[in-house]
Amino acid sequence: MKRVTRDPFGLLGLVLVIIVLGAAIFADVIAPYDPAKIDIINKLQGPSAAHWLGTDQLGRDTLSRIIYGARVAMGIAVFSIGIGAFIGLILGILAGYGPRWLDALLIFFFDSLNAIPLILFALTVIVILGPGTSTLIFVIAVISIPVYGRLVRAQTLSLRRSEFILAEQAMGASLPRIVGIHLLPNVLGPLVILVSMDIPSVVALEAALSYLGLGVKPPTPSWGTILNDGYTSLRSNPALVIAAGIPLVIATLGFTFLGEALRDALDPKLKTRRTP
């Protein structure tokens, strides 16, 4: 963390990530209004002292909906990527440390998932299962598995012939000990970096599907649905689109900067030389 905070962009990314996560965790405390409360009389109001970011076409407070939208976006991103990374971690270790036939079978599985276009797969699953939060989590988790599985497999293949692994095998160490104590800690670093840099893509995918009406169901607040509401009333209240786009930019920049700083901090080959 010291290396991350020494990097200006890493520090900026950490601050932005803390802001987004803080809004998601403490939405009940921070949000000034109920995000689902309808007030038709005050619909499509501009920014004011009562509503800092104005209101939408149903009179709902935009700031409150954006804050609760952070909880939805982060919840979907964390759960879906967490599931995909966990399954990919297990399959990647099995492919890299297991027999060749298992490696070939898992590589075929990874390639088969990668061959399916992302949007086409997402639309197909949503049409079959119906739009909703659980469907989005399932779609993102499935499409994330081959990415993380291939990364862990490559790391495992490069480590399985390392001197410390061979020494453990010569001393009669068990497979769970080799995997749990030596392989796992060495593959988690690159995996964490990739996960942190994939979160903006997941947030953008969730917002895009929700914008199209294929994601989170109303009245649950989502940054994509807020963008859609702002687009329908763009001429009468352009502030709604701007307010909905700001958190997407903040989340994207924050996790991207933080991921790059973590990569430089954890990989000695990528550490940048710093001038005093």
pLDDT digits (tens, 9 = 90+) for 217-260: 878 888 988 888 888 777 777 788 888 889 999 999 999 998 88
pLDDT of residue 273: 46
Residues forming a β-bridge with 198: none
Sign of the dihedral defined by the CA atoms of residues 38, 41, 45, 50, in that order: negative
pLDDT for 137-196, tens place per residue? Answer: 998 999 999 999 999 998 888 887 777 777 877 787 777 777 777 788 888 888 888 888
Nearest to 240 by CA among 229, 251, 249, 250: 229
For the whole model, what pTM was predicted? 0.84
Phi, psi dihedrals of residue 19, rounded to the nearest 5° = -65, -45
User: Which residues make Cβ contacts (< 8 Å) with residue 193, sequence separation at least 6?
Assistant: 259, 262, 263, 266, 267
Cβ-contact 81, 202 below 8 angstroms: yes
Flag whether pLDDT at 272 surpasses 80.
Answer: no
Judge whether 70 and 20 are in contact, CB under 8 Å: yes
**Residue 56 DSSP code:** -
pLDDT tens, residue by residue, 29-67: 999 988 888 888 888 887 888 888 888 888 888 899 999
- Counting beta carbons within 10 angstroms of the beta carbon of residue 140, is it exposed (0 to 12), middle (13 to 18) or buried (19 or more)? buried
Mean of the per-residue pLDDT values of the chain: 85
Rounded CA-CA distance 91/102 in Å is 10
